[in-house]
């Protein structure tokens, strides 16, 4: 609908659109169609983008460290880099492929996870702590993500040479429902956790993250 503003008009009138540009009254024709196709491929793309955008928020503790060096160099945000890096991390069914997901990238040598166990609510992880040259001061970071609760937790980093790290898990992560006090042992189901490990060295340089799935 057009509006009359003094001696000028603005808005839609018939097949034309009127607008004010730098004090001048201008008009343009209505577009014949809107370029917004709802094809199956585009709908899938929009769904994937929405999932990755949410995941970037859930995993912010990890990518704020893991993508920091690149974000500074590229004058970008770690959120944007996370979404760009992981935009294709999906299974054919449209589910997130956590094994391919990246929370850190860089040129440092990777720190591989040797083992991971949970006992009494504590996650214990051992990793390759071999050091050489000037990498003895590298820090090992461990990020744990729970798809069931859409939440992640970043452990306090340790020196690479330590070779092991421990993290107290939230109580609710050990149960299939958010209220563990009302549950009995027989009602506990298998819980899936995704572990992401990476290194950070001098000048905040990082390594590519490695993934390990853990069921408890």
**pTM for this prediction:** 0.75
Summarize pLDDT for 15-72 with one digit per residue, the tens: 777 777 666 777 877 766 656 666 666 666 677 888 999 999 999 999 999 999 999 9
Q: Give the model's pLDDT for residue 174.
A: 86
Mind listing the domains of the chain with CATH numbers? 40-215 (2.60.40.10)
Answer yes or no: are the C-beta atoms of 179 and 77 closer than 8 Å. no
Lowest mean pLDDT among 36-40, 91-95, 119-123, 127-131: 36-40
116-123, long-range: CB < 8 A, 24+ apart? 116/195, 116/212, 116/214, 118/169, 118/174, 118/214, 118/216, 121/168, 121/169, 121/171, 121/174, 122/166, 122/167, 122/168, 122/169, 123/166, 123/167, 123/168, 123/169, 123/193, 123/195, 123/214
> Quick one: what percent of the chain has pLDDT higher than 70?
76
Q: Give the model's pLDDT for residue 68.
A: 96
The answer to whether residue 195 scores a pLDDT higher than 70 is yes
């Amino acid at each position: 609908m057009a509006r009359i503003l003094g001696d000028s008009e603005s808005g839609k009138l018939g097949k034309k659109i009127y607008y004010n540009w730098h004090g001048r009254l201008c008009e343009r024709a209505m577009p014949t169609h809107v370029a917004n196709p709802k094809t199956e491929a585009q709908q899938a793309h929009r769904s994937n983008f929405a999932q990755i955008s949410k995941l970037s928020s859930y995993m912010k503790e990890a990518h704020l460290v893991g993508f920091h060096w690149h974000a500074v160099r590229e004058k970008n945000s770690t959120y944007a880099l996370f979404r760009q890096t992981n935009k294709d991390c999906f299974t054919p069914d449209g589910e997130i492929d956590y094994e391919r997901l990246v929370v850190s990238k860089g040129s440092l040598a990777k720190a591989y996870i040797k083992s991971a166990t949970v006992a009494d609510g504590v996650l214990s992880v051992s990793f390759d702590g071999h050091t050489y040259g000037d990498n003895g001061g590298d820090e090992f970071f461990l990020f744990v993500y729970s798809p069931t609760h859409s939440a992640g937790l970043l452990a306090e980093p340790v020196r690479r040479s330590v070779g092991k790290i421990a993290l107290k898990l939230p109580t609710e992560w050990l149960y299939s429902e958010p209220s563990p006090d009302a549950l009995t042992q027989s009602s506990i189901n298998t819980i899936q956790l995704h572990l992401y490990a990476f290194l950070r060295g001098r000048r905040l340089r990082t390594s590519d993250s490695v993934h390990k799935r853990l069921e408890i």
